[in-house]
Amino acid sequence: MSETACRFCGASVEGVFADLGTSPLANSFLAPERVNAMEPFYPLRALVCGECFLVQLEQFETPEAIFSEYAYFSSYSSSWLEHSRSYAEEMIERLQLGGDSHVVEIASNDGYLLQFFHERQIPVLGIEPAANVAKVALQKGIPTLVEFFGVQTASSLAEASAADLLLGNNVLAHVPDLNDFVAGMRILLKPGGVITMEFPHLMRLIEENQWDTIYHEHFSYFSFLTVSRVFAAHGLRLFDVQELPTHGGSLRIFACHAPDAEKPETDAARELRKREREAGYESLETYLGYGRRVEADKRQILGFLIGLKQQGLSVVGYGAPAKGNTLLNYCGVRQDFVDYTCDLNPHKQGCFLPGSHIPIRSPEAIREDRPDVVLIMPWNLKDEIVEQLSFIRQWGGRFAARTPELALLP
């Protein structure tokens, strides 16, 4: 039991959804000179509100500390770039965007998505709090404002900045002040404009045991029913939704000003609300039983890794995503099980994973060392990685990944 106010509705939140112990911030990779220094650990415990059913983390750090040195550059993932390109094409067509439209992206990262509008001569604006990533966007010619988004930022922008399309991918879940953020979106949206947001779907997290997607930077976990309530409280209406395979199962929601009569609710939106209601997403019991499944999963993961080590097999990791850090720290896995992990991102190579202190090397290390088992950390990119590393089969190497049980892949 705990006592904290709901991030959205303010009710006292007492239900524990999943308790993952204590963990450092998932993106706080350690440079070699920091590896023996003190490292802050925070409780990693997701709670659920009994009033609005928002699954949420308590906040222990300021957003500045979490996001200002963000090491994630979206353009390093080829499948994510492809996802973004097809989104841009779909939206240009659907909303008939052109030279006098305005597209605004919140958390625009290195301009990975806005570049596809920009190259079609559609005016864009990015809003990105991490100065190091925003700089890369500016170098590509994408106008970018280095700020956190909320009512204040939205109000300070001129009328000319109002958006026909206002979008944000994997940002809504990361916003500490959810109400201020959604209220700001309403201010920045033109009458008749459309908001789209993508975030992991709570229903997938529960049904497929994706508890490793819980980490400190990820404050809120939404069902479609709950996110509809949040938007409605700020005069915005969700009229459409798409279920996407990204990040293990995401929602792309479509919102408009509540009185906008031109945008009737789609069958997809009606159907998903009904499906979530029938699956119990407006009942507290659905959420409170989840912790047992997380504990059982930890025993399965450790049992699997112990089995590999008892056979004398060498195990290395691939990837250094936030979800890998949640899993390793919750399960207490260090170099006693995993010799090192590899990542394509040169900013991470040479550093150590937070908490577990597993070293991060270049993927070339796998070719040289010929490990018996490669543990794929970003299970959502499993197929892509198996293809990239298919050469490990030359020496009888095997892949392991959560599917959702941790197992060797065929």
Order of strands across the sheet with 406-408? 360-361, 341-342, 315-318, 373-376, 398-402, 406-408
Instruction: Out of 20, 26, 44, 52, point to the residue binding Zn ion (CB under 5 A).
Output: 52
3-state helix, strand, coil in the chain (%, to 5): 40, 25, 40
Residue 325 and residue 355 in contact, taking contact as beta carbons nearer than 8 Å: yes
DSSP symbol at 20:
E
Pick the stretch among 4-12, 32-40, 198-206, 209-217 that binds Zn ion (CB under 5 A).
4-12
Q: C-beta of 205: minimal distance to Zn ion in Å?
A: 18
Helix or strand or coil: residue 295?
helix
| Burial (Cβ within 10 Å: 0-12, 13-18, ≥19) of residue 313 | middle
Q: Which is nearer to Zn ion, 234 or 402 (CB)?
A: 234
Q: Which is nearer to Zn ion, 2 or 156 (CB)?
A: 2
Please give the structure tokens belonging to residue 366: 């796998």
Residue 217 and residue 71 in contact, taking contact as beta carbons nearer than 8 Å: no
Q: C-beta of 11: minimal distance to Zn ion in Å?
A: 5
Instruction: Out of 51, 243, 372, 384, point to the residue binding Zn ion (CB under 5 A).
Output: 51
Say whether residue 227 binds Zn ion (CB under 5 A).
no
**Sign of the Cα pseudo-torsion (276, 278, 283, 285, in order):** negative
Q: C-beta of 6: minimal distance to Zn ion in Å?
A: 3
Say whether residue 14 binds Zn ion (CB under 5 A).
no
Torsion of CA 218, 224, 230, 235, to 10 degrees: 140
Please give the structure tokens belonging to residue 391: 């050469």
Say whether residue 9 binds Zn ion (CB under 5 A).
yes
One symbol per residue from 330 to 369: x for binding Zn ion (CB under 5 A), - otherwise; what is it? ----------------------------------------
Q: Which is nearer to Zn ion, 218 or 229 (CB)?
A: 229
Please give the structure tokens belonging to residue 292: 């047992």
Scanning 189-223, the segments in alpha helix (DSSP H) are 202-207
Please give the structure tokens belonging to residue 59: 């906040």
Q: C-beta of 203: minimal distance to Zn ion in Å?
A: 18
Q: C-beta of 7: minimal distance to Zn ion in Å?
A: 7
Pick the stretch among 46-54, 168-176, 238-246, 293-301 that binds Zn ion (CB under 5 A).
46-54
Name beta bridge partners: 159. none
CB-based contacts of 139: which residues, under 8 Å, 6+ apart?
none
Q: Which is nearer to Zn ion, 48 or 189 (CB)?
A: 48
Pick the stretch among 6-14, 142-150, 227-235, 266-274 that binds Zn ion (CB under 5 A).
6-14
The residue assigned the tokens 């999963």 is 297
Say whether residue 49 binds Zn ion (CB under 5 A).
yes
Pick the stretch among 9-17, 112-120, 138-146, 379-387 that binds Zn ion (CB under 5 A).
9-17
Pick the stretch among 2-10, 71-79, 171-179, 281-289 that binds Zn ion (CB under 5 A).
2-10
Pick the stretch among 10-18, 196-204, 267-275, 339-347 that binds Zn ion (CB under 5 A).
10-18
Residue 7 and residue 178 in contact, taking contact as beta carbons nearer than 8 Å: yes
Q: Max CA-CA distance within the chain? A: 66
Say whether residue 206 binds Zn ion (CB under 5 A).
no
Residue 170 and residue 196 in contact, taking contact as beta carbons nearer than 8 Å: no
Q: C-beta of 253: minimal distance to Zn ion in Å?
A: 18
Pick the stretch among 47-55, 86-94, 175-183, 291-299 that binds Zn ion (CB under 5 A).
47-55
Q: C-beta of 52: minimal distance to Zn ion in Å?
A: 3
Burial 346-361 (b: 16+ CB within 10 A, else e): eebbebbbbbbebbbb
Scanning 311-400, the segments in alpha helix (DSSP H) are 322-331, 364-369, 382-388
Q: Which is nearer to Zn ion, 8 or 29 (CB)?
A: 8
> Interface with Zn ion by CB under 5 A: which residues?
6, 8-9, 11, 49, 51-52, 54
